[in-house]
């Protein structure tokens, strides 16, 4: 695992982010940030390192699923009551989906004999597809306010796709920007 030593601005390296939208935002920040030397600081270069990205996505998924459940299962009740019931249902539902997907990945591996080298990635892709599929279905079929919750998911996915295209076009300047940190790079145990 590569580490950047003593440069606080390296937290905006696109390679420390996963989704295209966050990688693009990071690149824009990186271009506008001054060098920030910080003695002793050690920043790891891993695409899942960003706190902001992972917390934002968790909150976003939880809020959207809560809306789906409130509108679909408890929609005929009072809105506040619907949300009060939807929050714990969403919490339990998401845990079941996460565990279920993880077990399915293991089952797939056991049945087909295909070794899944990165179960986190496989579960991640399956859950994202499930989330997007549900959103598309709700957007297409729901006549109530819930369809707006579904449409915002599809809009953000479209935004991420645009960001991915921009990242592709910007791949050369991004690579150059990342390379400027090579002189501070090394393993976690030393330069």
Partner 1 sequence: MFWRQLLRWAVLHVPLWLEPLVMATWSAIFLLWGAGRRGVMANLTAIKPGSTSFANFFRTYRVFWNFAWTIADMVRFKETRVVPDWEFTGIEHFESLKAREGGAIILTAHMGNYDLGANLFAETAGRQIVMVRAPETDPETRRFEESALERKAAALKVDFSTRASELAIDLLAAVQRGEIVAIQGDRVTPGITSLKATLFGKPMEVPAGPFALAMAARVPIYPLFVFRLGRRRYRLVTGAPFEVVRTRHRHEAFDRAVAEWTERLEAVVATAWFQWFAFEPFSAELNG
For residue 36, state whether it binds partner 1 (rule: CB under 8 A): no
For residue 85, state whether it binds partner 1 (rule: CB under 8 A): no
Question: Which is nearest to 156 in space by CA: 136, 130, 174?
Answer: 136
**Residue 54 buriedness (CB in 10 A; 0-12 / 13-18 / 19+):** middle
The footprint of partner 1 on residues 43-72 (CB under 8 A) is: 43-44, 46, 48-49, 51, 53-55, 57-59, 61-62
Nearer to partner 1, 42 or 170 (CB): 42
Nearer to partner 1, 92 or 155 (CB): 92
For residue 157, state whether it binds partner 1 (rule: CB under 8 A): no
Contacts of 65 (CB under 8 A, 6+ apart): 90, 93, 94, 131
For residue 127, state whether it binds partner 1 (rule: CB under 8 A): yes
Would you say the C-alpha torsion 34, 38, 41, 42 has a positive or negative sign?
positive
Nearer to partner 1, 54 or 72 (CB): 54
CB of 126 to partner 1, least distance (A): 9
CB of 66 to partner 1, least distance (A): 11
CB of 48 to partner 1, least distance (A): 4
Question: Which is nearest to 82 in space by CA: 92, 70, 93?
Answer: 70
Please state, in angstroms and rounded to a whole number, the distance separating the CA atoms of residues 138 and 81.
21
For residue 119, state whether it binds partner 1 (rule: CB under 8 A): yes
Q: Applying CB under 8 A, which part among 42-50, 151-159, 163-171, 178-186 lies near partner 1?
A: 42-50
How far is CA 122 from each of CA 56, 75, 105, 125, rounded to the nearest angstrom? 21, 33, 7, 5
Q: Rule CB under 8 A: which residues touch partner 1? A: 1, 3, 11, 18-19, 38-44, 46, 48-49, 51, 53-55, 57-59, 61-62, 91, 94-95, 98, 101-102, 105-106, 119-120, 123-124, 127-128, 188-190
């Amino acid at each position: 695992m590569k580490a950047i030593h003593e440069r606080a601005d390296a937290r905006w390296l696109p390679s420390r982010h996963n989704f295209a939208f966050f990688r693009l935002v990071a690149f824009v920040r990186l271009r506008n940030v001054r060098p920030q030397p910080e003695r002793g600081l050690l920043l790891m270069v891993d695409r899942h390192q960003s706190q902001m990205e992972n917390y934002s996505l968790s909150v976003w998924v939880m809020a959207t699923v809560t809306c789906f459940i409130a509108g679909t299962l408890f929609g005929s009740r009072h809105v506040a009551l619907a949300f009060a019931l939807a929050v714990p249902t969403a919490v339990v539902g998401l845990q079941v989906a996460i565990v279920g997907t993880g077990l399915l990945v293991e089952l797939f591996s056991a049945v087909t004999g295909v070794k899944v080298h990165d179960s986190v990635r496989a579960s991640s892709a399956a859950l994202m597809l499930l989330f997007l599929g549900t959103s598309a279905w709700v957007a297409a079929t729901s006549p109530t306010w819930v369809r707006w919750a579904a449409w915002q998911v599809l809009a953000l996915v479209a935004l991420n796709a645009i960001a991915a295209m921009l990242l592709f076009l910007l791949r050369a300047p991004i690579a150059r920007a990342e390379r400027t940190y090579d002189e501070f790079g090394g393993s976690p145990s030393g330069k």
